[in-house]
Chain A
């Protein structure tokens, strides 16, 4: 571990939150897990009915699925009463649960630049110098500056599909005409193209974008794209898929949006993953898996471990099938070469075959 800079004040903690989430939260509860586990953001509940769902969702994350040492709670909003009520209810639910929960603290209400430490009864204004320092540190780490609001994530997925649309009919016609060998070759091309993007970050030409969109309907192509991703390089692939989502005509936009949801999940960016899923026009099996992973608060490192295992199992199955097929061919060959019963030659057909 090198150059780990510390967060030494509430000002710095508050200044780091937009960088952590990727956007500045509004009317939100932000739970920062210390030690282990994810950071979570959820809207501040506006009614007693919503409080139940709010508590259930967040206690599920921090009491059942993850086990951080401590959770810092930061409630954002103008409505101080709603924020403090949400802080108190969540703090109590985490501390007084039947199962051992994390320590809780600090508990902050943030309204604009003003903060209140609900447990300590202290107040303050976020120091602009602290904000500048934290911004600079994240920039030095090569991080993208956060967008203004969560809604801006969706706006960043909108683009102009006109140029790719011109190439799409020919690309789809070409894909439809492919035989098995050609399709396998096309899947290989997709894998190579993804590898190339990982190296050079050069976005696809309009023609190649249409070609990718046409082949993505093939499940083996999607599998190849899924297998190409890991948590480590997911940010690069999120750039790739987001670019395609922006440029894809509506009728073929679901596939890259699904891949963007997966890469965003692998990156650990839940809001971006949900936003990508919101772009879908109909259900999709892979998208359903990403939804399940998000809802079950699956750590993307688990997915990282599952994909090679899944791929390995499939390869083992394939190898087993090959072995059986080879044995069957050898058996058939032996049967053909063996002297037939009653002098029958290899051409004779044995009963039961």
Chain B
């Protein structure tokens, strides 16, 4: 059974469309990059890592 897009989903789609920076739109590709958004504590830990 195929679900149709609800009003909430339509609204989210509009908001999503407004989210990416304009300059980046032409580069949107289909490569599946695994992105990880860290919580604040883990990001703080990572920020401390040395360059060398």
Q: Is the CB of A39 within 8 A of B11?
A: no
Chain B residues with a Cβ closer than 8 Å to the other chain, count: 44
As a 0/1 sequence over residues 1 to 37 of chain B, the CB contacts with chain A under 8 angstroms (1 = contact) are 1111111110111011001110110011111111111
Q: Is the CB of A4 within 8 A of B34?
A: no
As a 0/1 sequence over residues 284 to 303 of chain A, the CB contacts with chain B under 8 angstroms (1 = contact) are 11100100111111111111
Mark out the residues of chain A between 247 and 277 whose CB falls within 8 Å of any chain B CB in the assembled complex: 255, 268-271, 274
Q: Which residues on B sit within 8 Å (CB–CB) of A56? A: 27, 29, 31
Shortest Cβ distance from residue A285 to the other chain B in the assembled complex, whole angstroms: 4
Number of A-B contacts (CB under 8 A): 189
**Given A60-B28, A64-B21, A314-B11: A285 and B50 within 8 A (CB)?**
no
- A5 and B34 CA atoms in complex are apart in Å by 25
Q: Name the residue on B nearest A226 (C-beta).
A: B8
Q: Which residues on A sit within 8 Å (CB–CB) of B34? A: 21, 40-42, 150, 270-271, 274
Q: Which residues on A sit within 8 Å (CB–CB) of B1? A: 217
Whether A165 is near chain B, meaning CB under 8 Å from some CB there, is no
Q: Which of B1, B13, B37 has most chain A Cβ within 10 Å?
A: B37
- A285 and B23 CA atoms in complex are apart in Å by 26
Q: Which of B29, B35, B48 contacts A39 (CB 8 A)?
A: B35
> For this complex, into which size category does the number of interface residues on chain A fall?
35 or more
Q: Which residues on A sit within 8 Å (CB–CB) of B48? A: 4, 6-8
Q: Is the CB of B8 within 8 A of A141?
A: no
Q: Is the CB of B16 within 8 A of A298?
A: yes
Q: Is the CB of A4 within 8 A of B44?
A: yes
Q: Which residues on A sit within 8 Å (CB–CB) of B21? A: 64-65
Q: Which of B5, B30, B37 contacts A299 (CB 8 A)?
A: B37
- A144 and B13 CA atoms in complex are apart in Å by 32
Q: Which of B15, B33, B39 contacts A310 (CB 8 A)?
A: B15
Q: Which residues on B sit within 8 Å (CB–CB) of A41? A: 33-34, 36
Whether A147 is near chain B, meaning CB under 8 Å from some CB there, is no
Q: Name the residue on B nearest A293 (C-beta).
A: B16
Looking at chain A's contact residues, is the secondary structure mostly helix, strand, loop, or mixed?
helix
Q: Is the CB of A270 within 8 A of B38?
A: no
Shortest Cβ distance from residue A21 to the other chain B in the assembled complex, whole angstroms: 6
Q: Which residues on B sit within 8 Å (CB–CB) of A58? A: 33
As a 0/1 sequence over residues 36 to 52 of chain A, the CB contacts with chain B under 8 angstroms (1 = contact) are 00111110000000000
- A10 and B50 CA atoms in complex are apart in Å by 8
Q: Name the residue on B nearest A317 (C-beta).
A: B7
Q: Which of A40, A117, A217, A296 contacts B16 (CB 8 A)?
A: A296
Shortest Cβ distance from residue B15 to the other chain A in the assembled complex, whole angstroms: 4
- A1 and B46 CA atoms in complex are apart in Å by 14
Q: Is the CB of B12 within 8 A of A294?
A: no
Q: Which residues on B sit within 8 Å (CB–CB) of A283? A: 2
Mark out the residues of chain A between 16 and 53 whose CB falls within 8 Å of any chain B CB in the assembled complex: 16, 20-22, 32-35, 38-42, 53
**Considering the complex of A and B, which 9 residue pairs feature the smallest CB-CB distances, nearest first?**
A268-B37, A64-B24, A285-B5, A219-B6, A6-B48, A310-B11, A270-B35, A7-B49, A271-B34
Residue ranges of A at the interface with B (Cβ–Cβ < 8 Å):
1, 4-10, 12-13, 16, 20-22, 32-35, 38-42, 53-54, 56-61, 64-65, 70, 72, 99, 105-106, 117, 119-120, 141, 150, 217, 219-220, 222-223, 226-227, 255, 268-271, 274, 282-286, 289, 292-303, 306-307, 309-311, 313-314
| Pairs across A and B, CB under 8 Å, 25 listed | A1-B40, A8-B49, A20-B36, A20-B38, A22-B36, A34-B46, A38-B36, A38-B38, A42-B34, A60-B24, A60-B29, A99-B23, A106-B52, A119-B52, A219-B7, A223-B8, A268-B39, A270-B33, A285-B4, A289-B12, A294-B33, A296-B24, A296-B28, A310-B15, A314-B7
